[in-house]
Amino acid sequence: MEHPNNVTEFVFMGLWGNKGIELLFFFLFLLCYLAVLMGNFVILLTITCSHLIEQPMYYFLCHLSLMDLCYTSTVVPRLIRDLAAARKTISYNSCMTQLFTAHLLAGVEIFILVSMALDRYVAIVKPLHYMVIMNRKKCNLLVAVAWGVGFWHSIALLLMVLRLPFCGPNQIDHYICDVKPLLKLVCKDIHIVSILVIANSGMVVVVIFLVLVASYIMILYNLRTRSSAGRRKALSTCSSHVMVVVLFFVPCIYTYVLPAGSENKDKEISVFYTVVAPMLNPLIYTLRNMEMKIAMQKVWSRMSHR
């Protein structure tokens, strides 16, 4: 017998039950969100207003910053608002919209990171053919593929959730509408759906992470033949990429590989890829990159002289 879907809104239980702690984190997350906006905006402005936009690595970094801006903006403003609110509610339609948008943007971000790894691999392993292989047409194609794969992943997840019956309770043990906390509220057996979610999200994230790790291992292997100066420069760039990949992927793997019914720290861990990683990415890419620092100084001095 099919259960009716009689839930019109959901109530977030949030990160903490303590009001004092929630008010403290309201200001903390507000500062984090402002840092995300400012840091990623600086990267976007620096790259688009300088010669760096012509280089594939910075072209992808520009897209990564844009994804970080959009992704955090689908999650963090509501989280900040809910930390100060007495009752944290979201309508069914808004919940499904947030689920789709967050997974779409996260999916695009994951494949932008893959494109960045491919770019570094070609630059280090096939330097003589770099400009031919990584031309602007190929870069645009990789970005289009990232959007295509992100859309496919999120629409598959959304259609799966839309078919599930929610007949109460409607309390989501999280601060965002994500697939796993929603599955706990479904009033039918979710065993098969849970396996499909792990296949769609968990296993995909694991496979991509292993591919990225393998690509960086191959890059390190090929660096043996380089001069010490060339090796240092390549290692500095790659270490920044590895840091970003680890910050984003490790919490994602923890969240999406475990089945929906298991008791774990999903909502606490998810703060890493919704708030912490997008905030640290600009710092990682600017503080460790001399080219970015020089371009930033030129752009700001040009703007200040206007």
Rama region for 87: left / alpha / beta (φ>0; ψ in -120 to 50; rest): beta
Compute how many other C-beta atoms are within 10 angstroms of the C-beta atom of residue 243: 17
Classify residue 3: in a domain, yes or no.
no
Cα 116 to Cα 11: distance, rounded to the nearest angstrom:
38
In a domain, 152, yes or no: yes
Q: How many CA atoms lie within 13 A of 1 on its CB side?
A: 3
pLDDT value at 138 more than 90 = yes
* pLDDT per residue as tens digits for the range 213-259: 888 888 888 777 777 776 777 777 777 788 888 888 888 888 888 77
148-157 per-position pLDDT tens digit: 999 999 998 9
CB 173 within 8 Å of CB 86: no
Domain harbouring 263, CATH code? 1.20.1070.10
Q: Could you give the number of structural domains in the chain?
A: 1
The sign of the CA dihedral 241, 243, 244, 245 is: positive
Is residue 211 one of the residues assigned to a domain?
Answer: yes
Question: Do 175 and 82 form a contact (C-beta atoms < 8 A)?
Answer: yes
2 lies in some domain: no
* Cβ contact 295:47 at 8 Å: yes
**Taking the complete model, does pTM exceed 0.75, yes or no?**
yes
- Percentage of residues in the chain having pLDDT higher than 70: 93
Domain membership flag for residue 4? no
Strand order in the sheet with 89-91: 89-91, 9-12, 171-172
User: At residue 139, what is the residue type?
Assistant: C
Residues 6+ apart with CB under 8 A from 299: 45, 46, 49, 50
What share of the chain has pLDDT > 90, as a percent?
28
Domain for residue 1, yes or no?
A: no
Residue 120: which domain range? 9-305
